[in-house]
Structures are given as C-alpha cells and as structure tokens.
Amino acid sequence: MEIRLVQEKDYQRVLDILNEAIAARKFTAQLSLATMEMRKEWFIHHSAPRHPMFVAVVADQVVGWITLTEFRAGREGFRFTSEISYYIDSRFHRQGIGSLLMKRAIEAAKEIGFKNLVAVVFDTNICSRKLVKKHGFKLWGHMPDTVDIDGQSIGFDYWGLKIEK
C-alpha cells in the first residue's frame, strides 16, 4: 500500500468513496451526492500545501483518503487548528488503512505547524471513535441530537488532538 498526496487523476475515485459514505447515511451529514462540479474548488483547496489531501492506494486503486481542512474558515484565530476528515472504501474497512492515513495526516499537520487537530465523528460511528482514540485524540465535546438524517437524530462528537512539536 502507498500513502501519497492526491493527484488530479484520483479525483473521481475520491468522489466515489465520499458518495459511498453519503449513501450509507451513517458517516457524514452531507446528504446529497457530490459531483465533480460541486467539489472543484474543494479539490483545488486540498491541493495547496496548508490543507493537503492524502490517498491510500492498493493495487493502483485509491481505497481511502484523508484531508486537513481549514477549521472555521475565515476566522484567523483558528489558524493553528485544522479539521481532519477521512473516508475509506467499505470493501477496505478494518484493514489498517485508516490508521496509516491518520499517521500521515498527523505528521503533515506537525510539518505545517498546526497545534490542534479536530475530528467531527458521529456518536454512532464506533469504528471512527476507536480510530481517533487510537491516535491520541481526546473527546473535547458532544453535540447531542444535532444531525438529522432522514428523520433520525444523531449526535456528534468533537475529538481533539494537541500536536506536540
């Protein structure tokens, strides 16, 4: 397996993995499928050095991705905090890919100079909760019943990691 920066040739596969998570209705609050047109600026943003996207590649196929995203965009006081988001193709869950992506993203966050990483995780997403805990994230906050997916209320947690130099 290879972990590397996203390339333009990967964009459709990244969208496919995101759309699989959207369709599952249990990993993201985004409810409408993403299109290339909708995500064009997002890909440009995640091609910049400050907010990289990494992909996991197995047998020449992207099977997962992780991003460092601006936290609370436009608010300069959060300039040393980044949100981390990740999605893995369901056929590759529980194979250590999330951990490898997480390690690379944390390394990148240190290199960039972030002091904090924040992961937003549904309180029902046990595997993701285990992943962030495994990598040293602590529970920083809980937002009960704040997400509505098809009439079902779900809470989410803010998981935070203080980055040591």
pLDDT tens digits along 71-128: 888 898 899 999 999 999 999 999 999 999 999 999 999 999 999 999 999 999 999 9
What residue numbers bound the domain in which 77 lies?
2-162
pLDDT class of 30 with cuts at 50, 70, 90: confident
Instruction: Give the tokens for residue 29.
Output: 């609050």
**Strand boundaries in 59-151, DSSP class E:** 61-70, 81-88, 116-122, 138-149
Q: How many residues does the chain have?
A: 165
Count: domains in the chain: 1
Sheet of 81-88: strands edge to edge?
Answer: 2-5, 53-58, 61-70, 81-88, 116-122, 152-162, 138-149
Cα 109 from Cα 50, distance rounded (Å): 9
pLDDT tens digits along 42-82: 888 888 788 999 999 999 999 999 999 988 888 988 999 99
Cα 55 from Cα 2, distance rounded (Å): 8
CATH number of residue 83's parent domain: 3.40.630.30
Residues 51 and 121 sit within 8 Å (Cβ to Cβ): no
- pTM value? 0.93
Which is it for strands 152-162 and 138-149: parallel, antiparallel or unpaired? antiparallel
